Amino acid sequence: MKLDYLLLDVFTRDRLQGNQLAVVLKGDGLLDNEMQAIAREFNLSETVFITKPQNERNSAGIRIFTPFEELPFAGHPTVGAAVVLGLQNDRTAVRMEERIGLVTALFEKADKRSGEARFALPRLSSKVADMTDKLSIAQGLGIEVEEIGCDVFAPAVYSAGVTFHLIPVRDAGVLRRVRPNVAMFNEVFFHDHHSAYVFTLTPEEPDNDIAARMFSNTAGEDPGTGSAAAALIGLLSDEADFASGQADYMLRQGKEMGRLCRISLQLRRENEVLIHGAIGGHAVIVGEGQLDLS
């Protein structure tokens, strides 16, 4: 068995930046454990397997695996898969069947190896829990208690399909100094995947509105986490200063790792209720090859 694959950098226009992604082009016929083994072989944060759709009106099915497990949804694999499908099929709209549900992405081609995709969240972000123990949070992140919090934002747990602990910090300097305490990390950030998305507002940075870093005990730091940005949309909406209308943000992530990502966020509220959320970004193909599993 031989399988063609592509390597992409996602949430960036520039090669060798952004978040790396492997896309296996024809995953039909692979068993779940074989997909998991291939994802472990690539050893990237996520690997996507493109399959034939169950409904012929849709573009493709996609399965998303980390080296350790399958995910129902993730942002940078969705953007990367949409760019691949848009380039291959010369389409401006791509409909993908994911475990979480149907995801429709709008695609704009930049050149024959890159483009931009933006998609509405298949599940709107909502609060799971508050986080009131600032001392434990500070100890878990290696910062001071008084450095937790930014503007109107307080720590909380949100999910748009994947759960994240959202931790606002005072400024970009604090964000840069975060050093997770591995020994107590899982105890402090105990929901689901033990993932902490630490963020701050960046009014002093002209190219973005928000900066973030994502940490987990299993994968370490991730350069660009679309599912966490999707969760953040819920918190941004809950603290928005308008009852009805739309807000757009540009978020940077991965700068501290030398893998700068830029993720666009959009939310729409009606009568103080979140009715729409979307994320997007660019992706560029940086390599291709063939897996030989004969």
In 232-272 the beta strands, taken as DSSP E runs, fall at 245-253, 261-270
Length of the chain: 294
Three-state DSSP state, 272: coil
Q: How far apart are CA 27 and CA 242, in angstroms?
A: 45
**Which token pair is 62?**
């996609």
- Taking a C-beta distance cutoff of 8 angstroms, is the pair 286, 16 a contact? yes
Residue of 239, 224, 257, 294 whose CA lies nearest to 125: 239
> CA torsion angle for 219, 221, 222, 225 (degrees, to 10)?
100
Q: Is 56 a catalytic residue?
A: no
**Which token pair is 140?**
């878990």
Residue carrying structure tokens 């759960």? 163
198: left (phi over 0), alpha (psi -120 to 50) or beta: beta
User: Residues 46, 97, 98, 147: which is the catalytic one?
Assistant: 46
Q: How far apart are CA 5 and CA 22, in angstroms?
A: 7
Residue of 291, 255, 289 whose CA lies nearest to 19: 255
Hey, which residues are catalytic here? 46
